[in-house]
Amino acid sequence: MPPVELYDLTIHEASDLLSRRELSSRELTQAVLDRIHQVEERVEAFVTITEELALKQADEADRRIAAGDAAPLTGIPAAIKDVICTKGVPTTCGSRMLANFLPPYQAHVTERLLDAGLVMVGKANMDEFAMGSSTENSAFHPTHNPWDLERVPGGSSGGSAAAVAASECIYALGSDTGGSIRQPAALCGVVGFKPTYGRISRFGLVAFASSLDQIGPLTKDVTDCALVMNVIAGHDRRDSTSAPLDVPDYTQSLITDLKGIRIGVPQEYFVEGMDSQVRASIEAAVNKMAELGAEVDWQVSLPSTGPALACYYIIAPSEAMANLARYDGVKYGYSDRRGDSMWQNMELTRQHGFGDEVKRRIMLGTYALSAGYYDAYYLKAQKVRTLIRREFDAAFQRCDVLVTAVSPTPAFKLGEKVADPLQMYLSDVCTIPMNIAGLPAISVPCGFAPAEGGLPVGVQIVAKPFDETTILRVAYAYEQATDWHKARPSL
Amino acid sequence: MAITREEVRHVAMLFRMSLSEEEIARLQQQLSQIIDYFQVLQQVDTEGVPPTSHTLALENVMRDDEPRPSYPAEDILANAPLSEGGFFRVRAVLE
């Protein structure tokens, strides 16, 4: 055995040991569960821990492996963000509204992972209905950043990112509507990938903003990211927005040569107020990619980057408001029946079932779509969305990938931005435009900010729609030339 | 303030959600600040630009109309706060 703890293994390391029978899934799963017992009290990455289920699935995986029927993910312990439906296992969305909800079906991605031999150790904490950038909007408890327990893990997939960083699972799934996979991955020092809109079926993903939501993996390195993508990507007829395209073998993109790759660095992403250590890490990462053979254009311009944030905070709440109208206290979820009429019960159910941020976004969306404001806000935002897409299209005529920061700052303190929603929204400025344009984008560890005691920094790599392979190639080559992904927090 | 207390109340009722007086006061202040921020969009020239509602160029995704088994009613009703005789139960809507 290598001199590492079993829970610190990556998917590909664990999978090698499993297939050589030097390790059983039962042993690996028990090691991860022991790790959860050791650190979860401090990290609080989970809403639900499914210990019994995990051990049962581990035994099944060991039988599959013994029968020679193993795939790369077979028997590998994972955490699933609590916005993804798991049949018979509570799926709360971090909300009081769904605190007791048991999905009657599996999400498409859960089904795919189960077929591949999933061992699920738990459902990961999140901002309520995936609305937030810090995981402080969970109705149950905040999650702590494993690198500094006083700080946020980012959000909304903060539980998934913290669980991977703290080795409370080997990999996790998250969802990303405006940066909710990439920003927590950056703040927790792990790899987080939001594929192209339509690449992965959203069937069974509880809807937040339907034209922006996308599921993706959070992993310890880029190889693991490719392995998870190979299982969860692809068309599904139950999601009419899932793309009917063939899926390549993403592990074929894992090459360490960047010759011929054209990188663009959009100036507008060095936003006002960006931490100087973040800026320096991004510039150093681009220089490293150039050393590996890429050509770099430092003068790419995407002028609509600023307005993209306002565009997003109109479109996402408008779609959210329509999606969240289903929570009426009648069909499922929290039901407040203290009123005198059906309508009053519905009004009370929403007042007491939703938390502050969700109510704020419902109000923003309802306002933006209401009579007299539709043209000024919603329609205007949709037109700006077109401009944002066109600017990216033009940039990708000349560049294969764009490289930017993920978050303008490292992880902030718990409580620091809770009272100021607009400041919280501004932390998504570098990740939102990709959701608006539907582009694939990854966050890869690229350094540590020493002034804050060594908090992780992530670099973002973006490509044109359905060009996940180029992103993985650049991410892998960069990762293999650096050691950032090997660092683990001390807990 | 970009939005009045009365408007906050009105918007909440459009969504059929009640709010406490304290929530109305806080939302008036917070929503005003955010809506003021939205004004940045008015500076963007969108003359002649068509709106984008969706980034995938898919339209009218069709499938054959074949009957398939659906979820058992009891599975769906298992999450219902109140049900009776295979139905969701609510308070009377008509007096």
User: Tens digits of per-residue pLDDT, A314-344?
Assistant: 999 999 999 999 999 999 999 999 999 999 9
Does residue A388 lie in a domain region?
A: no
Supply φ then ψ for residue A401, to 5 degrees: -140, 155
pLDDT digits (tens, 9 = 90+) for A42-56: 999 999 999 999 999
Distance CA A37, CA B54 (A): 44
Q: List the one residue out of A357, A424, A420 whose CA is nearest residue A152.
A: A424
Question: Are residues A178 and A245 both part of a single domain?
Answer: yes
- A130 or A453, greater pLDDT: A130
Please list every residue in chain A whose beta carbon sits closer than 8 Å to the beta carbon of residue B16: 328, 343, 346-347, 350
A342, B90: Cβ pair inside 8 Å? Answer: yes
The answer to whether B40 contacts chain A (CB < 8 Å) is yes
Give the distance from residue A165's alpha carbon to the nearest chain B alpha carbon, in angstroms: 32
Please list every residue in chain B whose beta carbon sits closer than 8 Å to the beta carbon of residue A370: 11, 14
pLDDT digits (tens, 9 = 90+) for A211-227: 999 999 999 999 999 99
List the single residue in A with minimal CA-CA distance to B33: A422
A384, B40: Cβ pair inside 8 Å? Answer: no
Does residue A421 lie in a domain region?
A: no
Give the distance from residue A228's alpha carbon to the nearest chain B alpha carbon, in angstroms: 23
Please list every residue in chain B whose beta carbon sits closer than 8 Å to the beta carbon of residue A385: 51-52
ipTM above 0.90, yes or no: yes
Give the distance from residue A88's alpha carbon to the nearest chain B alpha carbon, in angstroms: 10
- Decide if pLDDT at A485 tops 70: yes
Q: A1 falls in which pLDDT band (50, 70, 90)?
A: very low
Question: Are residues A178 and A315 both part of a single domain?
Answer: no
pLDDT given for residue A490 in this prediction: 93
Q: Among the options A15, A24, A25, A81, which is catalytic? A: A81
- Decide if pLDDT at A85 tops 90: yes
A240 catalytically annotated = no
Q: Name residues 454-473 of chain A within 8 A of B (Cβ).
A: 465
Q: Which amino acid is at A70?
A: A
Does residue A460 lie in a domain region?
A: no
Q: List the one residue out of A304, A328, A425, A316 whose CA is nearest residue A364.
A: A316
Does residue A420 lie in a domain region?
A: no
Give the distance from residue B2's alpha carbon to the nearest chain A alpha carbon, in angstroms: 12
pLDDT digits (tens, 9 = 90+) for A102-132: 999 999 999 999 999 999 999 999 999 999 9
Question: Are residues A90 and A149 both part of a single domain?
Answer: yes
A389, B55: Cβ pair inside 8 Å? Answer: yes
A362, B58: Cβ pair inside 8 Å? Answer: no
Q: What is the mean pLDDT of residues A135-139?
A: 98
Does residue A200 lie in a domain region?
A: yes
Question: What are the residues whose beta carbons fall under 8 Å from the beta carbon of A315, sequence distance 6 or more?
Answer: A209, A211, A212, A378, A381, A382, A385, A436
Does residue A296 lie in a domain region?
A: no
Domain termination residue (choose one: A359, A382, A405): A382
Question: Are residues A314 and A224 both part of a single domain?
Answer: no
List the single residue in A with minimal CA-CA distance to B74: A104
B42, A380: Cβ pair inside 8 Å? Answer: yes
Count of CB atoms situated within 10 Å of the CB of A486: 11
Name the pTM for this structure: 0.97
Q: Among the options A133, A138, A180, A318, which is catalytic? A: A180
In a mutational test of the B interface, the residue from A363, A374, A436 whose CB has the highest number of chain B CBs within 10 Å is A363
Contact by Cβ (8 Å): A265, A404: yes
Please list every residue in chain A whose beta carbon sits closer than 8 Å to the beta carbon of residue B23: 351, 359
Please list every residue in chain B whose beta carbon sits closer than 8 Å to the beta carbon of residue A350: 15-18
The answer to whether B57 contacts chain A (CB < 8 Å) is no
In a mutational test of the A interface, the residue from B7, B44, B89 whose CB has the highest number of chain A CBs within 10 Å is B44
Q: What is the mean pLDDT of residues A447-474?
A: 95
Q: Among the options A15, A25, A134, A156, which is catalytic? A: A156
Distance CA A419, CA A417 (A): 6
Question: Are residues A83 and A229 both part of a single domain?
Answer: yes
Does residue A423 lie in a domain region?
A: no
Question: Are residues A49 and A172 both part of a single domain?
Answer: yes
Q: What is the mean pLDDT of residues A449-475?
A: 95
The answer to whether B68 contacts chain A (CB < 8 Å) is no
- Domain-wise residue ranges, chain B: 5-43
Contact by Cβ (8 Å): A98, A333: yes
- Decide if pLDDT at A163 tops 80: yes
What string of H, E and C letters represents the secondary structure of chain A?
A: CCCCCHHHCCHHHHHHHHHCCCCCHHHHHHHHHHHHHHHHHHHCCEEEECHHHHHHHHHHHHHHHHCCCCCCCCCCEEEEECCECECCECCCCCCHHHCCCCCCCCCHHHHHHHHCCCEEEEEECCCHHHCCCCCCCCCCCCCCECCECCECCCCCCHHHHHHHHCCCCCEEEEEECCCCCHHHHHHHCCEEEECCCCCECCCCECCCCCCCCEEEEEECCHHHHHHHHHHHCECCCCCCCCCCCCCCCHHHHCCCCCCCCEEEEEHHHCCCCCCHHHHHHHHHHHHHHHHCCCEEEEEECCCCHHHHHHHHHHHHHHHHHHHHCCCCCCCCCCCCCCCCCHHHHHHHHHHHHCCHHHHHHHHHHHHHHCCCCCHHHHHHHHHHHHHHHHHHHHHHHHCCEEEEECCCCCCCECCCCCCCHHHHHHCCCCCHHHHHHCCCEEEEEEEEEHHHCCEEEEEEEEECCCCHHHHHHHHHHHHHCCCHHHCCCCC
- B19 or B54, greater pLDDT: B19
Partner residue facing B18 (CB), from A197, A351, A421: A351
pLDDT given for residue A244 in this prediction: 92
**Mean pLDDT for chain A?**
96
| Overall domain count for chain A | 2
Q: What is the mean pLDDT of residues A91-105?
A: 97
Q: A3 falls in which pLDDT band (50, 70, 90)?
A: low
B80, A341: Cβ pair inside 8 Å? Answer: no
Phi-psi map region of A96: left, alpha, beta (phi>0 left; psi -120 to 50 alpha)? alpha
pLDDT given for residue A41 in this prediction: 98
Q: A306 falls in which pLDDT band (50, 70, 90)?
A: very high
Q: Which CATH number covers residue A212?
A: 3.90.1300.10
The answer to whether A396 contacts chain B (CB < 8 Å) is no
Please list every residue in chain B whose beta carbon sits closer than 8 Å to the beta carbon of residue A384: 41, 44, 46
Question: What are the residues whose beta carbons fall under 8 Å from the beta carbon of B49, sequence distance 6 or more?
Answer: A383, A386, A387
Distance CA A491, CA A94 (A): 25
Question: Are residues A17 and A82 both part of a single domain?
Answer: yes
Q: List the one residue out of A197, A171, A113 whose CA is nearest residue A468.
A: A197
Q: What share of chain A has pLDDT > 90, as a percent?
A: 95
pLDDT digits (tens, 9 = 90+) for B49-87: 999 988 887 778 888 899 999 999 999 999 999 999 999
Domain termination residue (choose one: A382, A409, A426): A382
A486 catalytically annotated = no
pLDDT digits (tens, 9 = 90+) for A248-302: 999 999 999 999 999 999 999 999 889 999 999 999 999 999 999 999 999 999 9
Distance CA A481, CA A54 (A): 35
Does residue A405 lie in a domain region?
A: no
Contact by Cβ (8 Å): B31, A386: no
CATH class of B5-43: mainly alpha
pLDDT digits (tens, 9 = 90+) for A409-444: 999 999 999 988 888 888 899 999 999 999 999 999
State the sign of the Cα–Cα–Cα–Cα dihedral A206, A209, A214, A217: negative
- Decide if pLDDT at A479 tops 50: yes
A362, B90: Cβ pair inside 8 Å? Answer: no
Q: What share of chain A has pLDDT > 70, as a percent?
A: 99
Domain termination residue (choose one: A325, A348, A382): A382
A347, B17: Cβ pair inside 8 Å? Answer: yes
- Decide if pLDDT at A33 tops 50: yes
B81, A197: Cβ pair inside 8 Å? Answer: no
**Domain extent at residue A138:** 6-258+477-486
Burial of A7 (C-beta count, 10 Å sphere; 0-12/13-18/19+): buried
A156 catalytically annotated = yes
